RNA sequence: GGUCCGGUAGCUCAGUUGAAUAGAGCAAUUGCCUUCUAAGCAAUAGGUCAUUGGUUUGAAUCCAAUCCGGAUCACCA
């Protein structure tokens, strides 16, 4: 247990013993002491003043003395300012903490808790390449999976590929019309980009045809339906569903190109999946749910044969679950997929990393599973994240004004290369080593940029102002890691034997920060929020840099101090590498 | 229109289980490399926490109303 929690517990005990009242953990408020006051952690007294009818000074004195007397190993002193009881933690506690953890490479990781979690993320369509929005999704999903692993969960990463439907047929039609048999191989283009280009071509052609029809006096709605390319696409979808061999062959061929492209990108950015579901396999799955729901009276049938669920009691609407022609809608498939996932892994929690535009859909999905009495319904969790927007508004892949994932990664890597060259610190690196370093820094900057913001919030990306490499950024933290490594490379190992005393303020500040890591890892999992780790890693790095500028490690005042600082360096490096690792960001030895 | 989410420094964001004088980074200004990596450190400046009212010993945080922005409410996915 960490100091803050211990302090909470003993404070609760103290107040209960002194005044004979019963408290819960929530009644006890422990804050970090503000730097302008003396002390490390602070018990807020205000809520007890009224209840116990004692002035804060007296209350603080009584509690403080009681705490000090009964926890000599934990506290060394206290002071009272207004309604705040500031407690100083015994220096021995910090030194012991450091001594027993600085070698611990797994510091921050918990033991297995026997619970299983499925994390579904990325989930692309196969008609266009990945863009910036996917990157936020992928980094988030990957990171949250790692965070849960660190908290002791067994995690299975999955992906649902939207590989069928009208949008896929659009690319196929456009390819038939305009490609003249060209392939990614013949053009040298990456497969997903190649197919994406035809998706854009389709939309251009469709727009052109609609305008022609409009000019002939047709209504907009009618024109959109009657445009020849649109009719051809509808026809192709029917043929696909009927299993027409030529259509299936083309579909397989084009999806294959896309998968080859995706694999390259996934590999580069470090995404991986234990199991991939394909919509073409799952889209018919949900129908038995409809039967079941009808039998249970959860669903009802309208006169035209369509099947609905009435969610007006929950403040929602009526929702269609099966079309009048008996075909599945989106939610029907998702019901089926939820069951399939549960059959595959009897999970305790099933996380869906999906944008907040689908909040309503996911709410409905969970509600329906609940109404059907599915035991796994409560485990369904929508990790909802905000859209990444450009200064001009949302990205529209139909119009091709997206920030392409591959382009962005390339750009970040090349900027990091330029930057590294200018600084000239790694002139002895081989070409291979340089390439690896540029990747680490470029991807680090990009991942950190997307993960440092609360997932729930939408964010704006301005391509004109490229992502920063200074301040609250990935490279700043990576740089701090490299700095520490450069000290530790001198091959002097910290020693257990030399026990320091009289911690300097900056030494203590850093140790306190490092001691909080466990809580941060827990918090990130509870909130499903990697940004708390990003913020924390930055604070650790910043605290270290201040310490580093003020105090020398290798030329410390004494041997004892030197070894204390070496221990601090080792623990700092473990925490930074671990926290960044949970964000999917590597840290370099040198940069 | 119903539901939901957001509005904090010029910009990008923390802080939102109520608590001490609202914090970072970028941008601006100014110092610091003969000392373990200056992708760094230190300092200055920058605020009507959208607005109004309420609850409270105490409100950026809770409640209500209003204004602004966004998402969603498809026999699309």
Q: Which nucleotide is nearest to A356 (CA to C1')?
A: B71
For A457 and B5, how far is CA from C1' in angstroms? 9
β-partners of residue A393 are A390
A400 confidence band (pLDDT: 50, 70, 90): low
Backbone angles phi, psi at A87, to 5 degrees: -110, 135
For position A82, what pLDDT does the model report? 87
Which residue in A125, A128, A267 sits closest to A193, CA to CA? A128
Q: Which nucleotide is nearest to A26 (CA to C1')?
A: B17
Q: Which domains does chain A have, with CATH numbers?
A: 3-89 (3.30.1360.70), 116-388 (3.40.50.620), 405-582 (1.10.730.10)
Assigned token pair, A551? 């105090």
The string of pLDDT tens digits covering residues A119-142 is 999 999 999 999 999 999 999 999
For position A500, what pLDDT does the model report? 76
Report d(CA A158, CA A50) in Å as an integer.
53
Report d(CA A317, CA A161) in Å as an integer.
28
Q: Is the CB of A591 under 7 A from strand B?
A: yes
- Evaluate if residue A499 carries a pLDDT over 70: yes
Report d(CA A7, CA A149) in Å as an integer.
28
Q: Is the CB of A471 under 7 A from strand B?
A: yes
A317 touches A272 (CB < 8 A): no
C-alpha angle with apex A220: A216 to A225, nearest 5 degrees?
Answer: 95
User: On chain B, which bases lie within 7 A of the protein's CB atoms?
Assistant: 2-6, 12-15, 17, 19-21, 24-27, 35-42, 57-58, 70-77
Sign of CA dihedral A276, A279, A280, A283: positive
Q: Is the CB of A205 under 7 A from strand B?
A: no
Q: Is the CB of A438 under 7 A from strand B?
A: no
- Evaluate if residue A52 carries a pLDDT over 70: yes
Q: Is the CB of A552 under 7 A from strand B?
A: yes
| A197-229 CB burial, b ≥16 within 10 A, e <16 | bbbbbbbebbeebbeebeeeebeeeebbeebeb
A351 confidence band (pLDDT: 50, 70, 90): very high
Average pLDDT over residues A456-471: 87
Concatenating the DSSP letter of every residue in A477-534 gives HHHHHHHHHHHHTT-PPP-SS----S--HHHHHHHHHHHTHHHHHHHHHHTT-THHHH
Sign of CA dihedral A534, A540, A543, A545: negative
In this predicted complex, what is the ipTM? Answer: 0.96
For A133 and B71, how far is CA from C1' in angstroms? 16
CA distances from A189 to A127, A155, A183, A334 (A): 15, 35, 8, 34
Assigned token pair, A167? 């949008």
Q: Is A151 helix (H, G, I), strand (E, B) or coil?
A: coil
For A45 and B55, how far is CA from C1' in angstroms? 21
For A44 and B25, how far is CA from C1' in angstroms? 31
- Evaluate if residue A98 carries a pLDDT over 80: yes
For A252 and B43, how far is CA from C1' in angstroms? 63
Q: Is A322 helix (H, G, I), strand (E, B) or coil?
A: strand
Out of A47-51, A337-341, A414-418, pick the least confident. Answer: A47-51
A298 touches A283 (CB < 8 A): no
Q: Is the CB of A519 under 7 A from strand B?
A: no
For A32 and B15, how far is CA from C1' in angstroms? 14
Report d(CA A38, CA A57) in Å as an integer.
16
Report d(CA A336, CA A340) in Å as an integer.
6
A145 confidence band (pLDDT: 50, 70, 90): very high
For A152 and B16, how far is CA from C1' in angstroms? 29
Average pLDDT over residues A274-291: 90
Report d(CA A133, CA A467) in Å as an integer.
16
A100 touches A571 (CB < 8 A): no
Q: Is the CB of A425 under 7 A from strand B?
A: yes
Which residue in A396, A458, A525 sits closest to A136, CA to CA? A458
For A34 and B23, how far is CA from C1' in angstroms? 12
Which residue in A477, A420, A473 sits closest to A447, CA to CA? A473
Q: Which of residues 355-414 of A touch strand B (CB under 7 A)?
A: 356-361, 387, 394
For A591 and B36, how far is CA from C1' in angstroms? 15
Output the CA torsion A169→A170→A173→A174 (10° steps).
Answer: -150
Sign of CA dihedral A293, A296, A299, A300: positive
The string of pLDDT tens digits covering residues A220-260 is 888 888 899 999 999 999 999 999 999 999 999 999 999 99
A487 touches A553 (CB < 8 A): yes
């Amino acid at each position: 247990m960490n100091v803050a929690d211990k302090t909470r517990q003993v404070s609760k005990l103290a107040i209960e013993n002194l005044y004979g009242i019963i408290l819960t953990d929530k009644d006890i408020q422990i804050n970090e002491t503000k730097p302008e006051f003396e002390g490390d952690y602070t018990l807020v007294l205000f809520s007890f003043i009224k209840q116990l009818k004692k002035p804060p000074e007296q209350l603080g004195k009584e509690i403080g003395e009681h705490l000090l007397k009964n926890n000599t190993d934990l506290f060394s002193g206290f002071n009272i300012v207004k309604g705040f009881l500031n407690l100083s933690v015994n220096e021995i506690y910090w030194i012991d903490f450091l001594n027993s953890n600085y070698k611990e490479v797994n510091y921050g990781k918990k033991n297995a808790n026997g619970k299983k979690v499925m994390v579904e993320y990325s989930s692309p369509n196969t008609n266009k390449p990945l863009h910036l929005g996917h990157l936020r999704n992928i980094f988030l999903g990957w990171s949250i999976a790692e965070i849960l692993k660190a908290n002791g969960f067994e995690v299975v990463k999955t992906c649902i590929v939207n590989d069928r439907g009208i949008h896929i047929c659009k690319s196929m039609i456009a390819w038939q019309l305009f490609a003249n048999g060209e392939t990614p191989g013949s053009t040298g283009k990456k497969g997903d980009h190649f197919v994406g280009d035809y998706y854009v071509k389709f939309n251009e052609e469709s727009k052109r045809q609609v305008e022609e029809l409009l000019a002939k006096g047709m209504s907009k709605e009618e024109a959109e339906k009657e445009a020849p390319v649109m009719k051809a696409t509808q026809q192709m979808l029917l043929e696909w569903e009927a299993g027409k061999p030529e259509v299936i062959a083309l579909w397989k061929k084009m999806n294959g190109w896309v998968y080859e492209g995706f694999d390259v990108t996934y590999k580069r950015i470090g995404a991986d999946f234990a199991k991939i579901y394909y919509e073409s396999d799952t889209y018919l799955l949900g129908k038995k749910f409809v039967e079941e729901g009808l039998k249970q009276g959860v669903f009802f049938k309208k006169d035209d044969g369509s099947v609905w669920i009435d969610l007006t009691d929950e403040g929602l609407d009526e929702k269609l679950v099966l079309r009048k022609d008996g075909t599945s809608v989106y939610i029907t498939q998702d019901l089926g997929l939820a069951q399939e996932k549960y059959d595959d892994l009897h999970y305790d929690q099933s996380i869906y990393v999906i944008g907040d535009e689908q909040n309503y859909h996911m709410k409905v999905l969970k509600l329906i599973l609940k109404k059907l009495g599915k035991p796994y319904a409560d485990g369904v969790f929508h990790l909802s994240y905000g859209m990444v927007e450009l200064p001009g508004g949302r990205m529209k892949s139909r119009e091709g004004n997206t920030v392409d994932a591959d382009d962005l990664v390339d750009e970040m890597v090349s900027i990091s290369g330029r930057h590294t060259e200018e600084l000239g610190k790694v002139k002895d690196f081989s070409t291979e080593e340089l390439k690896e370093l540029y990747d680490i820094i470029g991807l680090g900057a990009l991942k950190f940029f997307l993960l440092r913001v609360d997932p729930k919030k939408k964010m704006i990306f301005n391509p004109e102002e490229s992502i920063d490499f200074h301040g609250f950024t990935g490279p700043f933290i990576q740089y701090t890691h490299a700095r520490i490594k450069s000290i530790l490379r001198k091959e002097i190992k910290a020693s257990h034997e030399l026990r320091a005393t009289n911690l300097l303020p900056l030494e203590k500040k850093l140790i306190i920060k490092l001691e909080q890591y466990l809580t941060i890892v827990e918090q990130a999992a509870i909130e499903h929020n990697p940004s708390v780790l990003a913020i924390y890693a930055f604070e650790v790095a910043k605290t270290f840099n201040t310490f580093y500028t003020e105090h020398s490690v290798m030329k410390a005042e004494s041997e004892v101090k030197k070894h204390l600082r070496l221990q601090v360096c080792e623990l700092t490096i473990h925490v930074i590498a671990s926290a960044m690792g949970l964000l999917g960001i590597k840290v370099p030895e040198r940069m």
